[in-house]
Structure 1
Amino acid sequence: MKKVIITGSNGLLGQSLLKLLLKERTKYEVFGFSRGVNRSDREDFTYCDMDITKEVLLKDEIDKIQPDFIINTAAMTQVDACETQKEACYLLNVTVVKWLTEICELRNIHLVQISTDFIFDGKKGHYKETDTPNPISYYGRSKLNAEAVIKTSAVQSTILRTSLVYGKVPHMTRSNIVLWVKKMLEEKNEVTIVSDQFRAPTYVIDLALACKISIDSEVAGVFNICSNKILSIYEIAQQVAQVFELDENLIKPISTAVLNQTAFRPPKTGFDLTKTNNELQFYPKSFKEDLLKFKETFSENYI
């Protein structure tokens, strides 16, 4: 049986991973690290109320468990907050990864790290794993620094780069693009959405599955995980309206310049999935297809 620690187990990806791995309880012994009470509706795993920004506590707990894998889903991902709270961002996104890398290297633990499309400047989009990063926000720089920490170590690692993750789990503390647009339209509110930023959104179930494939195959390296078509964020909102049968006319385009966000966003990202297809044998679908699948299971999940 493989021992797996999930950091950030209360989050969207953390809870989705728990649900996926616990379907095979004879295969995995799962440990969840998060702050506060267990927010998942699952109790068939070992939950640790843990502040992972405390180095000694983190390393001691990992030493006690002696896991085979650590999947690090914990991160500060609010792009504007990272720009204004740089110390907090660096601590969680870089320093914690450094500590995890050190203990994984020492104890021969395979580390799975979640990275982001925001390590790129967004000038071209459709990025390959081998393209040269050039982040334009502090969040992007922090995640690139985390990648560098791992790559310059001897740790066995898998880095999964992803983009605009959405989904739904119990007791969520943060929304995401799909839930926000859906809620606004259900309440008959006008939605202003940028039309000149382009992304390939990622269904959290796909990202959880990619994490599972990473530990099952013990594959090392960098892989891209997102849907297979790049859309403007305006088009993403339109597709949410269409799938959930809401009023598309309430969605109004706006330019990035007018929006005036605190942190810069890359204009166009999205990933080339060739390596993911070939080496992980993983074939993500379009946003529309994933959204239809999400709608089918929507009543099974709750906030």
Structure 2
Amino acid sequence: MDKLITQDMRILITGSNGFLGHKLIEKLANKPRVSVLGISKSENRNPDLPADNFQQIDIAELDALTGILESFKPSHIIHTAAITSVESCENNPENCELVNVLTTEIIAQYCKKQGCHLTFISTDFVFDGHNGPYREDDATNPCNAYGRSKLEAELRIIQSGCRHAILRTILVYGVIADKNRSNIVLWAKNKLSAGESISVVDDQWRMPTWVDDLADACLLSVDKNGQGIFHISGNQLFSILEFVRQVAQFWALDTKLITAISAEAIGQADNRPPKTGFILTKSRQELDFQPTTVLRSFEIIEQQLETYG
């Protein structure tokens, strides 16, 4: 992806302390034609983001968000900040609406007014999981508040008329410099390495997405000024149990420590889609997105773990 970003750009990244935000900053570091501003609610934790390129704000404070937009004057925005916890969105719908929908609408309206391009991160949870894998134009039907908020944010972006790429993604995994950021791969690897037993759902199916691939898709969207909805994920469908077993097998960990459990047993039968997955034809053709195999991503993750220390 080194050849990406071939023109002068001012890129604003919301959620720069987040999992994807970290990876985007890492990939954009030292690109001579790019000015980057990262914003996040907490203090800067990104080693690749200089202090002068970071501002600490709560994007739920809409006036502060508008002030940042007007002062930085981005040519492109990658909007990764969101409340992604299904339970948090269910328990506090007002905050979910504010952070996931209203902030997105403010950003989209700014992009329309100023001619700025918006890349927005959405989710497979806009689907109910009864007819996966899905194309971009398949009917949506979210089964939880998180999915509903992301779908509503998508609609607000489209209604704004701004130039935009909506990237839906699935079960993002990988490694970044911030050791406090976990995900299903690191969780399973760390638990099993410690000899701890884990229970994993065996009746939900996903196409897990390597965070490096998702970051590359964002930068492809920026470089190509992508327009419309794109599905971004890996191209291998696993049950979540199967995926965790892949983790155990790659790192030579004891699969006997893994116990299968049903979604119903942990209260996820109704508020999680049973089977998603994406058909990637459009993102391959229009963005030149090429997903990495799970095995190859694990090989690179192993190298990255040594690099990050």
TM-score tier by shorter-chain length is over 0.9
Asked if the contact 1:200–1:287 (Cα under 8 Å) also holds between the matched residues in 2, the reply is no
Q: Percent identical across equivalent pairs?
A: 41
Quick check: 186-195 or 281-290, which moved more?
281-290
Equivalences for 1:1-303 in 2 at 5 Å?
A: 1-24=8-31, 26-44=32-50, 46-261=53-268, 264-301=271-308
Quick check: 263-272 or 111-120, which moved more?
263-272
| Cα 1:104/1:172, change in 2 over 3 Å | farther
TM, length-normalised to structure 2: 0.94
Asked if the contact 1:80–1:262 (Cα under 8 Å) also holds between the matched residues in 2, the reply is no
SS in 2 for 1:97: helix
| Cα 1:125/1:23, change in 2 over 3 Å | farther
| Cα 1:301/1:187, change in 2 over 3 Å | same
For residues 281 and 268 of structure 2, the distance between their equivalents in structure 1, rounded to whole angstroms, comes to 33
| Cα 1:35/1:263, change in 2 over 3 Å | farther
Asked if the contact 1:195–1:235 (Cα under 8 Å) also holds between the matched residues in 2, the reply is yes
Consecutive unaligned residues in structure 1, runs of 5 or more: none
- Aligned-pair CA distance for 1:18: 0.4
SS in 2 for 1:182: helix
Asked if the contact 2:213–2:292 (Cα under 8 Å) also holds between the matched residues in 1, the reply is no
- Aligned-pair CA distance for 1:85: 1.5
SS in 1 for 2:160: coil
SS in 2 for 1:185: helix
- Aligned-pair CA distance for 1:263: 6.5
Structure 1: which amino acid aligns with 2:88?
A
For residues 87 and 240 of structure 1, the distance between their equivalents in structure 2, rounded to whole angstroms, comes to 37
For residues 36 and 185 of structure 1, the distance between their equivalents in structure 2, rounded to whole angstroms, comes to 31
- Aligned-pair CA distance for 1:152: 1.2
Quick check: 142-151 or 36-45, which moved more?
36-45
| Cα 1:43/1:134, change in 2 over 3 Å | closer
Asked if the contact 1:39–1:170 (Cα under 8 Å) also holds between the matched residues in 2, the reply is no
Q: 1:30-73 CA deviation, whole Å, 9 max, x = no partner?
A: 00001221101124461001111111111111111111001001
Quick check: 53-62 or 280-289, which moved more?
280-289
Consecutive unaligned residues in structure 2, runs of 5 or more: 1-7
SS in 2 for 1:152: helix
Quick check: 230-239 or 260-269, which moved more?
260-269
SS in 1 for 2:113: helix
State the Cα RMSD in Å.
1.4
For residues 299 and 68 of structure 2, the distance between their equivalents in structure 1, rounded to whole angstroms, comes to 40
Structure 1: which amino acid aligns with 2:230?
F
TM, length-normalised to structure 1: 0.96
Question: Aligned residues, how many?
Answer: 301
Asked if the contact 1:122–1:268 (Cα under 8 Å) also holds between the matched residues in 2, the reply is yes
SS in 2 for 1:130: coil
- Aligned-pair CA distance for 1:297: 1.7
